[in-house]
Structure 1
Amino acid sequence: MKTALLLLAVAGAALFSVASADVSNAQKQHDVNFLLWKVNEHLRDETHKGYAKTFDPEADTSHYSDNGEAVHRLMKELKDHRLLEQKHWFSLFNDRHREEALMLFDVFMHCKDWVTGIKLAAYFRERMNEGEFVYALYATIIHAPLAEHVVLPPLYEVTPHLFTNTEVIQEAYAAKMRQTPSKIKSSFTGTARNKEQRVAYFGEDIGMNTHHVFWHLEFPFWWRDSYSHKLDRKGENFFWVHHQLTCRFDAERISNYLDPVEELQWDKPIHDGFAPHTSYKYGGAFPSRPDDVDFEDVDGVARVRDMIITDSRIRDAIAHGYIIKEDGSHIDIMNDRGIDVLGDVIESSLYSPNSQYYGALHNTAHIMLGRQADPHGKYNLPPGVMEHFETATRDPGFFRLHKYMDNIFREHKDSLPSYTFDELDFKGVSVTNVAIDGTLETYFEDFEYSLINAVDDTESIEDVDIDTYVPRLDHKEFSYNIEINNEKGPDTLATIRIFAWPHEDNNGVDFSFDDGRWNAIELDRFWVKLSAGKNNIVRKSTDSAVTVHDVPSFKTLMEKTEAALSGGGDLDLHDFESATGLPNRFLLPKGNHNGMKFDLFVCVTDGAADAAIADLHSKDEFLHYGANGVYPDKRPHGYPFDRHVEDERLFNQVTNFHHIQVKVYNHGEHIHHH
């Protein structure tokens, strides 16, 4: 299975009664589809409507694994009129909004059977804030064993306002009023006068935005293990996913003749402003930020000097090589696991061993940056784009913030000793050749999605199809052709890791090996069994373990589900069950007309030594985020390029690594489908 779902099936399985097995996957998918369809309107499914009117969540607590504790807590808030009203913006970074959404999540997680869950969902959808409801439902479907095979509809069709320009949304309303089916062109924000516009296709890509949301749903900073299980290597995963976004963004910049991103600094102006051109469904436009504003203290959040103090405490810990826990004892971070602790500290998640002292650098920084348009609440502006995972990557400030944090992580990684020859060598195994079948070529393609859920509705008027189309980066399919000589004997388990990094910067100056490897983009990681002697391995770009396919449209999901329900057939949406990976279309950076040079490394390491779980090679896909709660690869993310390289000759001496130079082309072609 592609990514995260396997780890969810085990932890809570014991809680769930047999009753849940009586509900087919198609019925489950139907329920989720209709709970999220037109989420700002009343329910449309007749059964759900009935539940919303007649169900009493507190009547029979035998359906909950906590005797109804969570549901009593939420119902009391509801009856006391303390919950956020409907038709109001929601932000996860708002403490009270998050608390309410998680109260509902907690209720869902304690449901013993599917039908009770759906009754609850219908009941609360009619009574709670829509944003809180959507968030709680998405988090539940991802983490609850009961929902294992359910596919979540694409967020950009459930809450299109967060992904679509205001101008396009207004045209969608006009089309609805006139009852004329429409396809509306979307474009990226900004103008050619703004150099950042050249890479807007990356930060504003709806698949990228969805990836960012899903990753944070999979590994939420608010996670408590009591919800179901421990999230393995959560802090390290936080480092790695954002490190990869940063490396990929820099590669896109170089593709477009821009310098790599400069880090944000608390005491320097925020050079790049941002005009989001997006609006909340309720709450007005997202605030803009002009160029070159100085960071201001944000009332009720943090002062700039607090951020500087937090920063220096974290850097002190890195220099000392240990983190101080709340009880004063030390956690040694001068090892492979140090990055995991540091990730928890920097984010900071509830896993942080000492948030009192080390603060929450990442989460607070998102709010600080989001509020710079109205730091004192003088204009009562809604939260900025940085205060939603859906919209954060649109802001050039996002990548500057993450470059800043990435540099803190690098400070730690660079303090560890370099890998030795013996730590890199896989004796008896040599990669004799690496070739690419096909061309490394990217292009833009119009991608279409529906805006039906963006516009207000009345049941008496038929829907008309209102879609928007937007150019998205994609690449031609290719394969890696890898030749390996194995003198170890038959059935040698091997991990194959494929990385690439830009060969030179925007000025045509070669990156040093040490800077290059820090910018390495992970293209794939998988396991094979090598036979004795010569092996030829062909791996397709579409199989990459770091990427996922685009989810089918809401309409397609609904049609497939209803067909399976009425025909009694099985609904197989296996390919789309996890959306945690990067969109496959983003596997390759854009490159350019002349061909952008990349150093590509294939590293073959000892699969038996790397493995944290058994029978790795038999899983057809690399389990990117773990099975049964355990991350399958023991090595640090980014190995063997995660540590400082003293002497690059080492990498030529080990026979199990192979380096080639490749070029990625973009010939400016743009495929329209209209």
Structure 2
Amino acid sequence: MHCTPSPHLSRLKLFDKGGRWCLLLSDMKLAKLNKITEPGTPTDATAGALINAHSNTKVTARKGLSVNIDCREEYDHVGTMSVTNRVRVSGYKAWRDSQQLTIIIMKVLVLCALVAAAAAASPNWGVSAAQKQHDVNYLLFKVYEVLRDDNLKNLGATFDPEADTSHYSDGGDAVHKLLGELKAGNLLEQKHWFSLFNTRQREEALMVFHVLEHCNDWQTFISNAAYFRDRVNEGEFVYAMYTSIIHSPLAEHVVLPPLYEVTPHMFTNGEVIQQAYHAKMTQTPSKFKSEFTGSKKNREQRVAYFGEDVGMNTHHVTWHMEFPFWWDDSHEGHHLERKGENFFWVHHQLTVRFDAERLSNYLDVVDELHWDKPIKEGFAPHSTYKYGGYFPSRPDDILFEDVDGVARVRDMLITESRIIDAIAHGYVTARDGSIIDINNERGVDILGDVIESSMYSPNPQYYGALHNMAHIMLGRQGDPHGKFDLPPGVLEHFETATRDPTFFRLHKYMDNIFKAHKDSLTPYTKEELELTGVSIEDVAIDRTLETFFEDFEYSLLNAVDDTIEINDVDIATIVSRLNHRDFAYNINVLNNNDAEVLATVRIFAWPHRDNNGIEFSFNEGRWNAIELDKFWNKLNPGLNHIIRLSTESSLTVPDVPSFQSLMQKADEALSSGSELDLHEYESALGLPSRFLLPKGQQNGMEFDLVVVVTDGEADAAVDNLHTNTKFNHYGYGGVYPDKRPHGYPLDRRVDDERIFHSLPNFKKTIVNVYHRN
């Protein structure tokens, strides 16, 4: 079949932006819808549509916004990335309709002639996934040392970022700004600590990010990266690289090396780092055991394995890179959907999971933080910056003090009271004085933006930045007045924050604010919750639920200084971490309807008892529910037997391959000319798969296991979710796949639990989780 493309198609580009296929024209900027033209004319716009595998799809985008194209796995990638890709676009048209742009995309095979026509304009033409992975690996390898790749080293020395500004989508504005600051000597020096919570340092890191973000092609991207790697602060560079790789359409299929092997000093006890230096100096291959912070005299030590887990640290920092509080739609070019609600949910889940871990270790659930009461737990990090000394410690039971130049304690109390007043009134007040209703299911999204506070906050001048300021206030309590000129505390870095037990007190405090809002909403009725003709007949687990601790090894090669003349030796640390045996859910669902039904299957669990052995009420339990999985399934008429593996959970991600493994895989693919396939690891956003199941107890710990089947047609924001179990829990193709609020249907208070127990599409049972030494 041969199709003659529209005359405009030679100017069409398709970028894979972290799983979001963005439809572009060759002469436009990636992101903002600037204007709408007459029918059939090219537009300076970003728009798109969900590509349906079986029919034409029409999606409408309001002026000023962008829509994403979602590339389905069941057919070839859409794009002009290489001659092997086949473009399934036969035409488009645009017209004016109530200030809306509509693009119709038809799934028709366009032969390689179209690919050839567009190839010259493609930003990734001739650059393989292996080459891009190789480049990123070496840009981040030994980031405090000279570049070890000859090509990148040469680019760092000879590239002129301002020589040809046609290679930037902003005309070179970002690179002019950064070079101006660099030449004026205004940037932070190298070999100095970096904190995202430091306003000036964040501004500098974002200058680098914006340069990389506006590169039109991969060669310009890596040339700038190599050039500024040699000239800007290393911490700022690493942050800019990670966020640009996550958000740039140029970096499709690139897997970021595990951050704990790029900057291992942020994740590893200082004593082990010192041992690593000794091994390097003596050229002795070594492996050192890492212990968790503290001692057995400290009760919090029992749950240190949770907050200090390097996978947990990576999960937390990755989420904040995917949904950064500094993100500005007008500058970055697209909207981060449900960012405020995601902020609430990811931290709510960390908090309730931490509570479950505490109960499994015979500790009470964590209490919330109070600005006018002592900070109960102190913390001694026993870790050190690469440059800048040890992380500050904090003793037990100290009262909050004002932090010079940041905030006063009374400011935090005022901010808190304004947010609580907004919840009580059911609305927030915007900058212009207008009223924004939050007394609805989407109110939590606005509230999350307010509490964090992100650039999406409708009025940060009035409502402040409760979350961000709290992190700084806590991080500085070891030296609140700067008397000892100490570096930032662990709570002033997202990659180290969960190591401090007070992190969970802080988020329990914020979680209770969110709960006040959620409890103000009207409970769901039985009519809203039931799924007509569908009932859950039985729920069972196919094997004993067991958790255990295992040893995990990661490299410390990047923790030590060296020169090219000295050979590397294998230096690693071994740390204990939580894991569980794989298991499966067996769910029998009866569909009494005559037709097929698309269902959303939602699985939760919560501890059955508190630390005193008292059973949690249904209303208490549902707020403490741990989300275990969510997936879509088509129910045939009659009985449906669903087997869902724990490894299939849509919430979790596997361990990223080690830095050494990524380098080896990329270099082997380059030398052999083979394809590099690392798609399984492209997103590190989810919870570590090892943490899916909370730790049990030796004689078994009871959990209430809940399965709810809801209307998949009403729930789904993306088509064909039942065919794709790999969607990311916080967004798929730029769209969160579930229209329902996070935690639905357990997100609202339950005044009468009989409503749930009477639902045929709801099933609760008790399971035991055992822990084996």
- Name the TM-score class by shorter chain: over 0.9
Which consecutive residues of structure 1, in runs of 5 or more, have no partner in the other structure? 670-674
Structure-2 separation of matches of 1:210 and 1:654:
39
Q: Following TM superposition, by how much is the alpha carbon of 1:613 offset from its aligned partner in structure 2, in angstroms?
A: 1.9
Partner of 2:46: none
Deviation at 1:5, TM superposition (A): 6.3
User: Which residue is 1:427 aligned to?
Assistant: 532
Matches within 5 A, 1:307-326: 307-326=412-431
Question: Does the CA contact (< 8 Å) of 1:9 and 1:148 recur in 2?
Answer: no
Q: Are 2:515 and 1:417 equivalent residues in the alignment?
A: no
2:168 is aligned with 1:57: no
SS state at 2:575 partner: strand
CA distance in 2, matches of 1:444, 1:482: 29
Match of 1:137 in 2: 241
Q: 1:457 and 1:52 mapped to 2: Cα distance?
A: 20
TM-score by length of 1: 0.98
> Could you tell me how far apart the structure 2 residues matched to 1:490 and 1:159 are?
55
Alignment-derived partner of residue 721 in structure 2: 616
In 1, are the aligned partners of 2:650 and 2:725 still within 8 Å (CA)?
Answer: no
- For residue 139 of structure 2, the aligned residue among 35, 43, 46 is 35
What is the Cα deviation at residue 650 of structure 1?
0.8
- Does residue 93 in structure 1 map to residue 105 in structure 2? no
**Where in structure 2 are the equivalents of 1:520-539 lying within 5 Å?**
520-539=625-644
| Residues in 2 aligned to 1:53 and 1:38: alpha-carbon distance in whole angstroms | 17
Partners of 2:735 and 2:534 lie apart in 1 by 28
How high is the TM-score relative to the length of structure 2?
A: 0.85
- Whichever of the two has the greater Rg, that structure is 2
Q: 1:638 aligns with which of 721, 725, 743?
A: 743
1:562 positional shift: 0.7
**1:204 and 2:308 are equivalent in the alignment:** yes
- For residues 244-287 of structure 1, the C-alpha deviation after alignment (integer angstroms, 9 at most, x for no partner) is 00000000000000000000000000000000000000000000
Aligned letter for 1:651?
Answer: F
2:770 counterpart letter in structure 1: Y
Q: Which amino acid aligns with 1:420?
A: T
Q: 2:578 aligns with which of 468, 473, 487?
A: 473
Deviation, 1:11, is 7.1
Contact kept in structure 2, 1:156 and 1:162, CA below 8 Å? yes
AA of the residue aligned to 1:23: V
* Distance in structure 2 (CA, Å) of the matches to 1:188 and 1:349: 33
Q: Which residue among 174, 180, 191 is the counterpart of 1:70?
A: 174
Matched, 1:371 2:383: no
User: In the alignment, what sits opposite 1:493?
Assistant: 598
Match for residue 282 of structure 2?
178
The answer to whether the Cα contact below 8 Å between 1:564 and 1:570 also exists between their aligned partners in 2 is: yes
Task: Tell me: higher relative CO, structure 1 or 2? Use CA pairs within 8 A at least 6 residues apart.
Answer: 1
Counterpart in the other structure of 1:629? 734
Distance of 2:522 and 2:124 partners within structure 1: 51
Q: Partners of 1:622 and 1:488 in 2: how far apart?
A: 28
Counterpart position of 1:672: none
Separation (CA, whole Å) in 1 of partners of 2:645 and 2:18: 23
Corresponding position of 2:39: none
In structure 2, C-alpha distance between the alignment counterparts of 1:285 and 1:623, rounded to whole Å: 36
Q: Deviations over 1:271-311 (max 9, x none)?
A: 00000000000000000000000000000000000000000
Distance between the aligned counterparts of 2:228 and 2:528, measured in 1?
55
Identify the structure with the greater helix proportion. Answer: 1
- Report the alpha carbon displacement of residue 620 of structure 1 after superposing the two structures with TM: 3.1
Match of 1:516 among 621, 629, 636: 621
C-alpha separation between the residues in 2 aligned to 1:9 and 1:193? 53
Q: Secondary structure at the match of 1:482?
A: strand
Does structure 1 residue 454 correspond to structure 2 residue 466? no
Q: CA deviation at 1:10?
A: 2.0
3-state secondary structure, aligned to 2:767: strand
Contiguous gaps of at least 5 residues in structure 2: 1-15, 31-120
> Mean Cα displacement is larger for which, 657-666 or 9-18?
9-18
Q: Give the distance between the partners of 1:562 and 1:568, measured in 2 at CA.
A: 10
Counterparts of 2:425 and 2:125, CA distance in 1: 53
The 3-state SS of whatever aligns with 1:529 is strand
2:704 is the counterpart of 1:599: yes
Deviation readout 1:536-560 (Å, 9 max, x if unpaired): 0101101111110000000111111
Match of 1:120 among 224, 235, 251: 224
Q: 1:302 aligns with which of 392, 402, 407?
A: 407
Distance 1:272 1:381, change over 3 A: same
Find the partner of 1:163 among 267, 274, 286: 267
Counterpart for residue 674 of structure 2: 569
CA deviations 1:437-492 (Å, max 9, x no partner) are 12210000000000000000111011000010000000000000100000123431
Task: Give the whole-Å Cα distance in 2 for the aligned partners of 1:583 and 1:481.
Answer: 23
Contact 2:606 2:626 in 1 (8 A): yes
Query: Higher mean Cα deviation, 481-490 or 322-331?
Result: 481-490
Q: Is the 8 A contact 1:12 1:145 kept in 2?
A: no
Q: Is contact 2:18–2:248 with CA below 8 Å preserved after alignment?
A: no
Q: Contact between 1:199 and 1:252, CA under 8 Å: does it hold in 2?
A: yes
Q: CA RMSD in A?
A: 1.1
Cα distance between partner residues in 2 of 1:8 and 1:472:
34
2:18·2:247 contact (CA, 8 Å) conserved in 1?
Answer: no
- 1:628 positional shift: 3.7
For each residue in 1:11-32, what CA deviation from the matched residue of structure 2 results, as whole angstroms up to 9, or x when unmatched? Answer: 7786574141320000000000
Query: Residue 616 of structure 1: CA displacement?
Result: 1.7
1:334-391 CA-partner distances (Å, limit 9, x unpaired):
1110000000000000000000000000000000000000000010000000000011
Letter of the structure 2 residue corresponding to residue 456 of structure 1? D
Give the 3-state SS of the residue equivalent to 2:124 in structure 1.
helix
- 2:658 aligned with 1:553: yes
User: Are the equivalent residues in 2 in contact too, given 1:261–1:399 (CA < 8 A)?
Assistant: yes
Whichever residue aligns with residue 182 of structure 2, its letter is L
Q: How many residues align?
A: 665
Cα distance, 1:594 vs structure 2: 1.4
* CA displacement at 1:6 relative to structure 2: 4.7
Residue identity (%):
69
1:236 matched to 2:313? The reply is no
Which residue is equivalent to 2:125? 21
- 2:674 is paired with a residue whose SS is coil
